[in-house]
A and B are shown apart, each in its own frame.
Chain A
Amino acid sequence: MQFSPKLICFKGISILTLLFMFMLPQYSLAQGDDIRERLDEIERELLDLHLKQTDKTSVTAFDSMRLDLGGFITQTFTTTFNGDSPDRSSFDQTNFELLMGADVTDRDSLFIALGFLRQADLVNEAGLDVEQRKFADHANRIPGIIMWGRHDFDELLDVTYGRWITPWGIINREHFPPVLMNLSQPQYLRAVQPGNLFGGNTIVPNFLDGIQAHGSKYFGDYQAEYFAYVGNFDGSGSGPSDFISGARLMGALPNRIFTIGFDYQNGVRAVSGAQDSHYDAWGVDALIDYKGFLLKSEYLRSNERGATGNKESWYIQPSYTRGKFVLFYRWDVIDTDLDTVNDSAEQTEHVFGVNYFLQPTVRLRAEYVLNRFNLNEDNNGKKRDYDNIQLSITTSF
């Protein structure tokens, strides 16, 4: 058998044609699959966008690059008992907060938290006539809780102006119910006499209006962070022209296994019928976070020059998270007049609690609180101590 070049050429072309006939459809098929898969993904994205959007119109974010809306709602039920005061129960707090965050440029942002609160405060909780310990009428409050703008220079400096959370300690900076395992903050962050939420005479204010500088620096995996601020707190604690200034320094080990912070604040307290009192407050706090075990602890003290007594408070709060459950305990002590021993200004709280997450954004809490007073008799010789149970749910978005 002889193979002429013509025949070889013809056979070669035939083989190549056959090869193309088999390979091209395979190649096209693969390409087609890829395109179909990508189209499916785009359709899924579009469907998601469509489902997230209202059927009227999408939101336009004016001049911002990003606009995020969020918020949460909290309902509590509290019952007080086991004391000489009358047992009381109430759905005492319904709080809704609307959060808005926006980036105006890649260095400028703003954040707003508006509260729509309906609350029945427990009045005369620490008073010297326990018969008067009761829930006040529900009151509607709409505070502007946070409203700030921020310019970000670099990692070492960003400047925040407006109304912001006072950078003090651990729990005040966490602050909001969706992330709080116990709804009531430590005593030093609560109004000593209830009824003045977001304006109460706490040892250090929860919020300030003013200007704040902040920055952080990593040294390998070690982090150092600072805050320095000046502002006003015109609640019942001080006037609109009284300035409060302070600073916070923090250091953290890798993965935040251990964090330590130091705080200082100088300010003024208005005292009815007496001259304003100037104070220097300082504090130290530590946080250990290791494999579900979390320990938070803070200590603070204020030295007062004027009509108010020196103040001191501390708490220690261990907790353990396993799956959807969190167990915690807090031992919380406050003395708002250190100069007088065993007076009505000393009280201790023991809080035993459990949290359960229905979803990461739905937190259920049950807390049993022992309220113990150093001066355990009111003016009529009745026991001031009492217990309370608080049940609450917070859903956030």
Chain B
Amino acid sequence: MMTKHLVMGFVLIVLFASNSYGEPIVFIVNKDNPIASISNSGIQKIFLKKIKRWDSGEKTVPINLYNNTLVKRDFVSSILGMILHEYDQYWLGVKQRTGETEPRVVKSSKFVLKIVSVNKEAIGYLPEKYFNKLGRSSREKIKVVGIAR
């Protein structure tokens, strides 16, 4: 009986954990960016600054969120394939060797939206729930180039 309860508890914890880390992420660029879609690995390369230019030759400007946001944790694990600690170590190493720093970090999805709306070179990500609530005027200024589920 005890074992059964433990197993059920474990299953519940796993389910709860997977739900709280599983929200889809929407990737957005400015409406004037000619790119139509981008793969997860392409996004990974841009946010790790392994690729620094769009096909058009313009510089990529990835916009990141603070580590304490849930969507950032989801993004780092599902797209970059790291945990936050590894992610911090990655940028620590890059900074020491090249002076290059993590993409610009902002506090909230609203700021991501704002920056991508006005900057042709920017790329950012939003939680799907937040994106779905956006009004028409906000959506007109951006373009969805990928969704990670």
Using a CB–CB cutoff of 8 Å, the interface residues on chain A facing chain B are: 37-38, 41, 44-45, 68, 70, 72, 99-102, 106, 109-113, 152, 154-155, 165, 173-176, 178-179, 216, 218, 220-221, 223, 254-255, 321, 323-324, 357, 360-361, 396
Q: Which residues of B contact A220 (CB under 8 A)?
A: 41
CB distance from B67 to the nearest CB of A (A): 9
**Known contacts being A111-B99, A165-B97, A396-B96, is A179 close to B89, with CB within 8 Å?**
yes
Q: In the complex the two chains form, what is the Cα distance from A305 to B111 in whole Å?
A: 62
Q: Which residues of A contact B85 (CB under 8 A)?
A: 323-324, 357, 360
Q: Interface residue tally of chain B, by bracket?
A: 20 to 34
Other contacts beyond A68-B99, A360-B88: 18, CB < 8 A: A37-B110, A38-B110, A41-B110, A68-B101, A99-B95, A100-B99, A101-B101, A102-B99, A111-B98, A112-B99, A154-B53, A165-B97, A173-B97, A175-B96, A178-B96, A179-B92, A218-B45, A324-B85
Q: From A359, which residue of chain B is reached at the shortest CB distance?
A: B88
- B50 near A216: Cβ-Cβ < 8 Å: yes
Q: Which of B57, B100, B107 contacts A101 (CB 8 A)?
A: B100
CB distance from A256 to the nearest CB of B (A): 9
Q: Which of B50, B97, B98, B111 contacts A41 (CB 8 A)?
A: B111
CB distance from B129 to the nearest CB of A (A): 16
CB distance from A30 to the nearest CB of B (A): 11
Q: Which residues of A contact B88 (CB under 8 A)?
A: 360-361
CB distance from B121 to the nearest CB of A (A): 9
- B107 near A45: Cβ-Cβ < 8 Å: yes
Q: In the complex the two chains form, what is the Cα distance from A345 to B101 in whole Å?
A: 42
Q: Which residues of A contact B108 (CB under 8 A)?
A: 41
- A175 near B50: Cβ-Cβ < 8 Å: no
Q: In the complex the two chains form, what is the Cα distance from A165 to B96 in whole Å?
A: 11
Q: Which residues of B contact A106 (CB under 8 A)?
A: 59
Q: In the complex the two chains form, what is the Cα distance from A218 to B46 in whole Å?
A: 12
Q: From B93, which residue of chain A is reached at the shortest CB distance?
A: A179
